Amino acid sequence: MVVGEMVEKRDLMVIGGGPGGYHAALRAAQLGKQVTLIEQGEIGGACLNEGCIPSKILTHFASEFRKQGHLQKMGMVMGEASIDLAKLKSFREEKIKGLRAGVEGLLRSRGVEVINGTASFLSENRIGIESGHQFSLFEFKQAIVAIGGKMVYPPGISMESPFVLTEREALTMTEIPEGLIVSGHDYVAIEIAAAYAALGSTVTLLMEGRLPFDQSIEREMKRILKKQKVSVVTEVKIMSVSDDGGVEVDYESSAGTRQVNGTHLVLCGKSEADLSRAGLDRLPLECEGGKIKVDGEGRTSIPGVWAIGDVTPGPGLAIKAIKEGKVAAGAIAGDKGEVDLEWLPAIVQMDPPVACAGWSEEEAENRGYEVVCSEYPFRANGFAGLKEETDGMIKIVSEKGTSLILGIHMIGSGAVELISAGVLGLEMAARAEDFTFPLYPHPSSNEALMEAVEELTGHAVHLQRRRKKAVQ
């Protein structure tokens, strides 16, 4: 130590103010801990400021824009609608600022000390924080690493072209692109493609693999996207990209080598852990697959150092980071908890949205289950009919003989809200009767879930069936 060096002592330090970090800080403060939260950028992290919230503003805007015809049909008189992206930008900035201020207010109200600066581990129990020209040294009892990940893009493609955008840049475009090519591997690419198609772009979606859902949902997604004039190509490998006043993309798929042209290309990256940040490479942390190995409550191999979010194994999702943050904070305060990602819901905020939890039919069979499945179309639901939102379906995967629910897969209006009932049922090891016994609001989309489960035994009331001819 340098003579005269001042070391400040802290109880719990949380490095990173994204969704995982600020939830951890708030939960620990609720449980009586003195908490210091360090964030080098804006509170809320990439999710609130650049990713989750901006993307959902775009998808919500596109969904509302698509409803014009239905509203006019009902009798709502309006002039010809147009798109003002400058106003959308102002709306987006206002909402982000408001949400961020709300989180900052919560942190203040809980007595969480917030330091704006760049944190770096100096040893297993010391952190240095650089803020402008000031450097401070802290000694901690416990620390939670919540620094998020870094976005990695396909090699060999120049990101300097004005016609090649990242997924976050695509959320803030100042004009609707005439011909948009979206390349990606998950829900982000699908959401961007569907949103801009609704706003008038001609869209080609190049997916690295299959659409990552049960095959029945995948088929319905492809049908709906085709109806919305999104050209979908799956299991794609991009060979080259050239730009000269637009973009040309050469790619390989099961159909062979093809070329697609457009005005812009959006490349959706993958979130990976960057263990060179925050001085993590100075610590003897046990890792697996390039990420920090943790137990079910977030403990690392170093006593007193915890890790959550994108730096730990599993998908780079805010919902995962939030759960891990709460569990780690609780464990530090003496509570018992566990992070179990088995029934993690998968969501796509396209129109209509996709929401799935549990195992697909194929996954259940691969795990050794003999399954019974049902499919229930939203067109059979009266509430969906009056809203003219009849695209989509619900698929239930259950175990034959026991009616244990193994998976619930939806695409349709209200699916994101409905899936919470499905997640709860999966967590409680529900059987079909646990879904069909309760009373459901009428009329509502909820009844579609009930009838999808009833259809496991062929008892969905609102599905038409061919009447069997009487035997003479």
What is the spatial distance between Cα 50 and Cα 318, in angstroms, rounded to a whole number?
13
Phi, psi of 277, rounded to the nearest 5 degrees:
-80, 160
| 245 annotated ligand-binding residue | no
**φ and ψ of 154, to 5 deg:** -55, 135
CB environment 105-136: b (16+ within 10 A), e (fewer):
eebeeeebebbebbbbbeeebbbbbeeeeeee
Q: How far apart are CA 203 and CA 225, in angstroms?
A: 10
186 assigned binding-site residue: yes
394 known member of a binding site: no
230 marked as binding residue: no
Catalytic residue among 60, 133, 442, 459: 442
What crossing angle do the helices spanning 85-109 and 19-30 adopt, rounded to 10°?
30
Omega before 303 within 30 of 0, i.e. cis: no
The annotation status of 191 as a binding-site residue, yes or no, is yes
190 is in an annotated binding site: yes
Tell me whether residue 440 is annotated as binding. Answer: no
Hey, is 303 helix, strand or coil?
coil
Q: For residues 350 and 225, give the distance between their C-alpha atoms in angstroms, rounded to a whole number.
A: 9
Distance CA 44, CA 322 (A): 12
Tell me whether residue 187 is annotated as binding. Answer: yes
Beta-carbon count within 10 A of 472 CB: 3
Question: Coil, strand, or helix at residue 8?
Answer: strand
Distance CA 377, CA 326 (A): 37
Residue with the two structure tokens 């944190």: 119
Question: Using CA atoms in the order 102, 105, 107, 112, what is the torsion angle rounded to 10 degrees?
Answer: 160
> Is 442 assigned a catalytic role?
yes
Strands (E), 153-276: 164-166, 179-184, 202-207, 230-233, 237-243, 247-253, 256-262, 264-267, 270-272
56 is in an annotated binding site: yes
Q: Which residues are catalytic?
A: 442
Annotated binding-site members for NAD(+): 184-191, 269
Annotated binding-site members: 56, 184-191, 269, 310
